[in-house]
Amino acid sequence: MTERVTYRDAVRAGLCEALRRDERVFLMGEDVGRYGGCYAVSRGMQEEFGEERVRDTPLSEAGFVGAGIGAALGGLRPIVEVMTVNFSLLALDQVLNTAATLRHMSGDQFGVPLVIRMATGAGRQLAAQHSHSLEGWFAHVPGLKVLTPATLADARGMLWPALEDPDPVLIFEHVGLYNLEGELPPEPAPVDIARAAVRRAGDDVTLVTYGGSLWKTLEAAERLAGEGVSAEVIDLRVLRPLDDATVFASARRTHRAVIVDEGWRSGSFAAEVSARLVEQAFFDLEAPVERVCSVEVPIPYARHLEQAALPQAEAIVAAARRTLGRER
């Protein structure tokens, strides 16, 4: 029997299952305990697991991410929640210069089995200091694994394999997905955190995306189907290591590709995917690779401007048409 729940519920289920499964696991971050989390993900968890395992921290990302690294080195399995991706910049030194490099710097003597969760993306009128998509920045860094669950099953199922990883794993949860509803089986299904997923099969054009843009991309694919265009939708799910083999296999079959990324176009993760396609599948393509990204402005607060700044289904459909020579 499946149960109808929200993405938020799925994340909470994954957290609770991990805490019940391994006494070394604990959650720490700003407002995760008594308040129940900025996005209500951890509501009720402190009552069940206690203040030692669901720990409220001071407002210091540098401090509590550093403490999480120390806890991981000490044999625990911390889950550190950073309230929003913009605030992760305050802990860049800890993530990039310590967590990501320690195995290399120690000659493989030490790893940092740390999971960092954070909200990313726009669409909830939280303005420029709380709404950007910076996961592509972290995907640039060797030593990190970067996950972007877009479905309820992934939101629940990616956490445990992330905790089993001997090195740091970052999980980016799109703010626009927390209220997403869907079916979830009572038992978690295993999730491969090294592989992309084909969410919709198609033959005419490959649409590649991840995170909050998946559902807009699926909407675009449905609109294209109404025009007689069969679009394949690939959910990258994992930005590092990138499963480019799945992307290449699809693009070599459809001969066209559109990359959808909520990051800014310049230096975007979409640019990396596009570059790899051109480097390794150029002669299989029958049209230039298209990119649909956010407008290069700080994300506005006003809803109509915020929506105008973000990739939308209409822009994805238009990009797919261009690859097919069907501009309108």
Q: How far is CA 229 from CA 74, 203, 218, 322, 325, in A?
A: 54, 8, 13, 12, 12
**H helix intervals, 147-241:** 152-157, 159-164, 213-226
Residue 296 annotated to the active site = no
Among candidate residues 30, 130, 262, 306, the one labeled active-site is 130
CA distance 232 to 230: 7
Q: DSSP letter string over 237-301?
A: -EEETT-HHHHHHHHHHHS-EEEEEEEESTT-HHHHHHHHHHHHHGGG-SSPPEEEEE-SSPPPS
130 catalytically annotated: yes
Asked whether the beta carbons of 85 and 120 are under 8 A apart, the reply is yes
Torsion angles phi and psi, residue 139, rounded to 5 = -65, -10
Residue 228, SS3 per DSSP = coil
Backbone φ and ψ of 235, nearest 5°: -95, 110
Catalytic residue among 61, 135, 290, 306: 61
Residue 96 CA, distance from chain mean position: 18
Rounded to 5°, the CA angle 60-179-155 comes to: 70
Residues belonging to the active site: 61, 130
